[in-house]
Each structure stands twice: as structure tokens, then as C-alpha cells.
Amino acid sequence: NAAKKPPQSRGEVKASPAFYQFDKFPEYKEFTTMEWYLDKEKYPRTQFLKRLSVSDATVNLEGREMINYSTYNYLGLAGDARVKEAAKRAVDTFGTSTGSGRSITGEIELHRAFENEICEVLGTEDAVLSVGGYSTNTFAIGYLCRNKDLILYDELIHNSALAGCKMTAARRIGFPHNDYEALEALLAENRGKFERVLILVEGVYSMDGDIPDLPRLIDIKRRYKALLMVDEAHSFGIIGPNGLGVTDYFDFDPHDVDIYFGSLSKSFGTCGGYIAGPKPLIAMLKYFAPGVLLYGAAPTPANTAAGLEALRIMRAEPQRARRLVDNARYFVQRAKAAGLDTYNSHDSAVVPLMCRDSELALWLSMALFGQGICAYPMLHPIVPRDKSRLRFFINTFHTHQQLDYTIQCIVDNLRVAPKSKGVF
């Protein structure tokens, strides 16, 4: 009888009725076409490789040491002895889990300490720390906008913000990347038609590596009485004379940005997300926004302690960010001198190398992989096919020698690149 069967042998696997056959889904077909192509062209598989070390300027993938351009750990803090020690201390004191949501026994002093320090740096009244970057961005936007609201977003904003927009019943309109005239035209056209207008931009765009004109955006949002939210995932810890993000870079009154979002998975070298802004905003998010704190576990002691220590190091050692941006500038300048297209990248640690063809981007990435360089391709649907590229995340620990070697390899490879067959 069934109750006596051991759990690992549930009997014969029967074919599912057609409705349940996931291999018939069109999305699965897309996946198998890609797999078929990689096999046919004898490309090595570079996804889901096992990492055996900290990843900063270099990484050990499956036992192979490589120059690394694929990690968020811009400032090298994920492997910093002080950050690791802080995380270990937090585990010793609080264990590995917070055991529940923050409002019901999950709160530890480190959560509040992080929030107080990020407010001090940004000049905001309050902040809330949550478990993941993606989810914080999504759920904060998803909570804040209603059916009588309008969201105007830069077309290059991150998927997490788009997901938040889609959760709401608000009207949502994208404007062309950094096109402030188009934004103003939309604001003028919709003036008076909505209760609130939210403008969404990034401090550094995660694909193009460029910085928006925030003073201009602030002027626009003031004139049209809109709210401005900036995603600082790739700008905090990186841009500005002290590396402290958009407020540092542009030197404006921090209150001119209504909502700051930040991710702890980038310069902080850990995991989590925060929203910073006026007290009432943070109170609403803390008490009522599902997915920010409500209905989910609190950030772990280890992640929170690491984030706090990383923040303190960023403040004490601005030279890390300076060195990072110097490295990025050096890389862009050398790439341009070699005739390569780094697109819009400017003053940030994200440098796209435009291939403008999916197969070429994939081929180049694989060729570099063979030469000990880890730089992943960004293909459709992440970017349009004609904007396919390799994305280089520059690291504060990269040496000029590593950057020069990489440029040389790219140039040599492109000379012998096969013609694209236009398969995908």
C-alpha cells in the first residue's frame, strides 16, 4: 500500500497530460534553440559555473583563475577581512537567521544601525533595510502607486522597477533614455490628470553605464510637482568625489530626490536593499508595504552586519571608489584608443562593449573566456538584438596590466571574428 512506500520510489513516472507538458511551452522552445546552437557551435557552457573563491578583480571558476569583469563587488568589500569579521560576529551573537519579519521579533540592532548610517550619508530623514535589492525596489514602487497615479520611467530602468510598475494599477509610460524633452512633454500632456506622478531613473544605468542629468530632472520634477525616485544600485559607493552616490556627485540638496533606492549586492558586497527618504514615506513602507518588511523575513544578521561594516569602510576609505572610477576611465580610454565602442559609459564602473549582434557578443565572450577573461554577453531579451554587448564591471582591484591585456585580447579576437549567421 502507498503509505508504506519509501519516499524515493513513488512508482513509475507517467506521461503528463498535454496541458502539463512544460517542454511544449514556447518559452522552453526558445531555451532549446539556444542550447542547440551552443552545442552545434561547440561553445563551452559558461553559465552556472561553480565559483571557488571570492570574486573581485579575479575569480576562480571551476578551478580556473580568471580576470573577472562579471562581479558586482566593485569595491572588493565582499572579501574584506573587516567585513567578514563583522558578519561572523553577528552570526555568533544572533545566529544565522532573524527567524521572522522585523516587526515581530526579527529586528536586531544592526538593522537600525545600518538605516541610521545610510541616512547620515544621504542626508535623508529615514530609511528602511530589507532582505533583497530586487524585491525592495519592486515592492516599494508596487505599494506606492495607485490607479489615479502616473509613473513615468526611463526606458532603461532595471527590471525590478518595471516589475514594481506592473504591480500597480497606475498608468505607466516609458520615456526614451535620458530624453528630458520627451519627459517634459509627457508631464505637460498629463498635467492635472493624475493625483501623483512618479518619475523613475537610475543613478548609473546598469546596462549603459551612464549617469542621468539629475539637476535637470530636479528642475523638471519641481516645475511639474512630481516625485523623483533614483535607483542607486550602481551609483552608491562609486560615483562622486567621495564615492557616495548621486548626492555626492551632483552636490544638490538631498531632499530634492524624494525616494532613494539602493542595493547591498553591489558596492556593499553583501545582499539586501534599502529605501531612504522622508519619515512618513518610510513609516508607510515599514508598516504597510507587502514584501518590503511585511510578510517576509528580516535581512540576515550576517548580511546586515556586512552591509554596515562596508558602509563604514566606504566612508573612511573614499580612495577605493576613486581608484575604481580611475580604472574605469582608463579602460574606456584605452578601449576608445583601440577603436572599440564603449557606447554611453561615463564616469561609472559599468562599461559596455558594443557588438550590436547577439552571435558576435556570444562568440567574443567565449573567445575571451578561453583567454582567461570572464566577461558575460548581454543578449536579447536583456537588451535589443542590435544593442547586444559584453558588459564589463570594473573593479577597484583591477591592475592596468589586466585592463591592457583585456583590451588587447578583444582587439585580436575581433580581427578574426566569424561572420554572424543571424541565428538568434
Q: Which spans of this chain sit near ligand PMP (rule: CB under 6 A)?
A: 132-134, 137, 158, 160, 202, 206, 231, 233-234, 263, 265, 273
For the bound state, the minimum distance from the C-beta of residue 204 to ligand PMP, rounded and expressed in Å, comes to: 8
CB atoms within 10 A of CB 132: 20
User: By C-beta, is 265 or 388 nearer to ligand PMP?
Assistant: 265
Q: Which is closer to ligand PMP, CB of 162 or CB of 360?
A: 162
Residue 265 or residue 395: which is nearer to ligand PMP going by CB? 265
The least CB distance from residue 178 to ligand PMP, in Å, is: 15
Nearer to ligand PMP by Cβ, of 273 and 377: the residue is 273
Give, as one character, the DSSP assignment of residue 372: T
Place of cell 521572522: 100
Is 384:78 a contact under the CB 8 Å cutoff? no
CB of 132 to ligand PMP, least distance (A): 5
CB of 247 to ligand PMP, least distance (A): 17
Among residues 33, 117, 156, 53, the alpha carbon closest in space to that of 311 is found at: 117
**Which of 132/240 has CB closer to ligand PMP?**
132
What is the pairing mode between strands 389-393 and 377-378?
Answer: antiparallel
* Shortest reach from residue 422's CB to ligand PMP, in Å: 29
The least CB distance from residue 58 to ligand PMP, in Å, is: 21
240/123 Cα distance (integer angstroms):
15
Name the residue with cell 529605501: 275
Spatial neighbors of 127 by CB under 8 A, at least 6 apart, are: 115, 116, 118, 119, 274, 275, 276, 277, 282
CB 291 within 8 A of CB 124: no
**Least distance to ligand PMP, CB of residue 389, Å:** 15
Q: How far is the CB of 265 from ligand PMP (least distance, A)?
A: 4
Vertex 401: Cα angle to 395 and 404 (nearest 5): 90
Cβ atoms 206, 292 nearer than 8 A: no
Tell me whether residue 261 or residue 363 sits nearer to ligand PMP (CB atom). 261
- Grid coordinates standing for 414? 575581433
Sheet holding 197-202, edge to edge: 126-130, 273-277, 259-263, 227-231, 197-202, 150-154, 171-175
Report how far residue 363's alpha carbon sits from residue 357's, in angstroms, rounded to the nearest whole number. Answer: 10
Tell me whether residue 40 is exposed, middle or buried, using C-beta atoms within 10 angstroms of its C-beta: 0 to 12, 13 to 18, 19 or more: exposed
| Nearer Cβ to ligand PMP (208/359) | 208
CB nearer to ligand PMP: pick between 69 and 363: 69
Distance, CA of 193 to CA of 210 (rounded, Å): 32
Q: Shortest gap between Cβ of 203 and ligand PMP (angstroms)?
A: 9
Residue nearest to ligand PMP (CB): 133
**Least Cβ distance, residue 382 to ligand PMP (angstroms):** 11
CA distance 271 to 284: 23
**Shortest distance, CB of residue 197 to ligand PMP, whole angstroms?**
21
C-alpha angle with apex 266: 265 to 270, nearest 5 degrees? 35
Q: What is the DSSP annotation of 4-38?
A: GS-TT---PPPPPPGGG-GGGSHHHHHHHHHHHHH
Q: Which is nearer to ligand PMP, 72 or 363 (CB)?
A: 72
Tell me which amino acid residue 332 is: V
Smaller CB distance to ligand PMP: residue 271 or 332?
271
Nearer to ligand PMP, 266 or 360 (CB): 266
